[in-house]
């Protein structure tokens, strides 16, 4: 007499532990990169508030061009996700320290 038990059906299904790390890691990383984009845009803005004045001084033109390049690079990096789960875990662990500091830097730069 063979007692074949279906143990697979009796066990509750476990959720994938990688999904919370991935979701939280992507969220923390995206918020950090957006804050850094805001800081870069604010720092790279021309000292005189009109865009026409940018062409008058080469230093403002260079600052705005470099700032635009940095902002585009940061925004592009939001959509380029890391390949391994450890990167998301690192972002999740560093997030509580990095996000308040970046918000403080944005406040000071503003």
pLDDT at residue 21, as a whole number: 74
Confirm whether pTM is higher than 0.85: no
Average pLDDT over residues 65-80: 93
Whether the CB-CB separation of 93 and 25 falls below 8 Å is answered with no
Q: Going by C-beta distance under 8 Å and a sequence separation of 6 or more, which residues neighbour residue 103?
A: 35
Q: What is the pLDDT of residue 91?
A: 87
Given a cut of 60, whether residue 76 has pLDDT beyond it is yes
Express each pLDDT in 17-72 by its tens digit: 667 778 888 899 999 999 999 999 888 887 766 667 777 777 788 888 899 999 99
């Amino acid at each position: 007499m063979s007692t074949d038990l279906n143990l697979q059906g009796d066990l509750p299904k476990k959720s994938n532990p990688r999904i919370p790390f991935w979701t939280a890691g992507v969220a923390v990383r995206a918020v950090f990169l957006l804050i850094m984009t805001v800081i870069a845009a604010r720092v790279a803005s021309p000292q005189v508030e009109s865009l026409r004045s940018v062409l008058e001084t080469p230093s403002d033109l260079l600052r705005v061009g470099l700032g635009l390049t940095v902002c585009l690079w940061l925004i592009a990096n939001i959509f380029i996700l890391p390949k391994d789960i450890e990167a998301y875990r690192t972002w999740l662990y560093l997030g509580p320290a990095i996000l308040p500091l970046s918000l403080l830097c944005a406040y000071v730069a503003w």
